[in-house]
């Protein structure tokens, strides 16, 4: 007589237990992920709140040190402060650094030496003291960020958009016109500030208290724009002239052999160097050839080419219509550089018309009466 036993085999029981174990591990892992995410968000929220209080100078509300948090000021120098978070687990640390952090916040790990998460971590959040509260406002979408050029990041805090700066309506910089992309090609941003322009990074220059332009621009208006030395040194393809212009480097005509951002020549070709007085010690400006170049030198005048002559202080264009330069006194050799002029008996380099005044082979003037 056959007997049948009900129940599970040993293999079935082991399989069932294994499945239950996998599901349990998965649930625990998911739970841990949620908890770590919550802890990471709590740290970020706490740090943001402390940063706002610090920036708004409401230091009377700030405990110098609380559990796991410590405010450090100055941090590196008086322009920055830090909020240190201690006892951060490895998984929470990974949650924090996985977020899309941007300037002005910097995050330093484990006393600035180890750049990855350890089992227990110390994290420094570093903020600029003058960042402005607007950079740490809470948000759910970009609509919650009222300030131009800001967006809502992945952790629900308003942060500045990368590659965009503010343009104003005029040089007072009081009324915002729009948020504009950092200039590319021949474009530029007008009526902006130096602080805004520098957000575009190196390779951008601020000039004339209003313009932000790309160092590589082909726009003729910015080929020799007058700027400070420090601004010009932001361009690897330009050097600063003693006339205060940021000129494009040319290995032949305008070299920067020292690599210090200062042009070896005082002014590039087609530009003459002007001084403030006849002592030739204080530089006034670099100016286009053909302009009234007061207090310049003969060597600077030679950069303008063969159709320019020097009278001791002016570098003048031979065809100039400037009444002050229609009869400059100069040497025979200098006057001879002008094919439309001759040197009269007074030592003046004047126009000849081949009717009443002629030019002799030696460059001297001959009148029709002679």
Residue 93: predicted pLDDT: 85
* 106 and 53 share one domain: yes
Number of domains in the chain: 2
At 45, give phi and psi (nearest 5°): -65, -45
CB atoms within 10 A of CB 127: 25
Provide the token pair at 13: 């029981």
Instruction: Please report which confidence band the pLDDT of residue 2 belongs to, taking 50, 70 and 90 as the band edges.
Output: very low
* 107 and 137 share one domain: yes
3 state SS of 5: coil
Instruction: Please report which confidence band the pLDDT of residue 1 belongs to, taking 50, 70 and 90 as the band edges.
Output: very low
- For the chain, how many residues are written? 370
pTM for the model stands at: 0.45
Residue 58: predicted pLDDT: 54
Residue at 256 is within a domain: no
* 54 and 139 share one domain: yes
* Dihedral angle computed from the Cα positions of residues 154, 158, 161 and 165, in that order, rounded to the nearest 10 degrees: 180
Residue at 103 is within a domain: yes
Per the structure, the complete domain to which residue 174 belongs is given by 163-221
Residue at 239 is within a domain: no
CA distance 285 to 64: 54
Q: Which of 152, 177, 195 finishes a domain?
A: 152
The 8-class DSSP code of residue 114 comes to -
pLDDT in tens, 229-284: 889 989 999 988 877 888 888 887 678 888 888 887 667 667 777 776 777 766 66
Are 267 and 253 within 8 A, CB to CB? no
Tell me if the bond preceding 74 is cis, omega within 30° of 0.
Answer: yes
Tell me if the bond preceding 9 is cis, omega within 30° of 0.
Answer: no
* 128 and 200 share one domain: no
């Amino acid at each position: 007589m056959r007997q049948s036993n009900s129940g599970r085999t040993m293999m079935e029981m082991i399989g069932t237990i294994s499945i239950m174990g996998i599901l349990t591990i998965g649930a625990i892992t998911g739970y841990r992920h949620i908890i770590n995410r919550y802890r990471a968000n709590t740290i970020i929220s706490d740090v943001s709140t402390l940063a706002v209080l610090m920036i708004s100078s409401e230091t009377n509300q700030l405990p110098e040190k609380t559990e796991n948090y410590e405010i450090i000021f100055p941090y590196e120098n008086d322009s920055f402060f830090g909020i240190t978070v201690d006892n951060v687990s490895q998984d929470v640390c990974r949650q924090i650094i996985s977020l899309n952090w941007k300037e002005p916040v910097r995050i330093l790990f484990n006393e600035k030496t180890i750049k990855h998460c350890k089992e227990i971590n110390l994290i420094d959040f570093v903020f600029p003291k003058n960042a402005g509260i607007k950079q740490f406002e809470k948000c759910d979408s970009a609509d919650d960020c009222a300030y131009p050029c800001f967006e809502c990041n992945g952790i629900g805090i308003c942060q500045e958009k990368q590659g965009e700066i503010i343009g104003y309506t005029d040089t007072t910089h009081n009324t915002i016109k729009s948020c504009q992309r950092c200039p590319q090609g021949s474009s530029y941003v007008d009526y902006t500030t130096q602080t805004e322009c520098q957000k575009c990074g190196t390779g951008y220059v601020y000039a004339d208290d209003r313009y932000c332009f790309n160092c590589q621009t082909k726009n003729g208006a910015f080929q020799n724009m007058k700027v400070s030395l420090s601004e010009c040194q932001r361009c690897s393809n330009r050097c600063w002239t003693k006339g205060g212009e940021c000129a494009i480097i040319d290995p032949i005509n305008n070299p920067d052999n020292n690599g210090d951002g200062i042009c070896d020549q005082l002014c590039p070709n087609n530009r003459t160097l002007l001084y403030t007085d006849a002592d030739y010690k204080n530089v006034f400006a670099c100016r286009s050839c053909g302009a009234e170049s007061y207090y310049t030198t003969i060597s600077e005048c030679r950069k303008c080419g063969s159709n320019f002559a020097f009278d001791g202080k002016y570098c003048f264009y031979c065809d100039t219509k400037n009444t002050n330069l229609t009869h400059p006194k100069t040497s025979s050799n200098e006057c001879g550089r002008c094919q439309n002029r001759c040197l009269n008996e007074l030592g003046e380099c004047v126009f000849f018309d081949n009717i009443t005044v002629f030019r002799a082979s030696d460059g001297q003037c001959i009148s029709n009466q002679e």
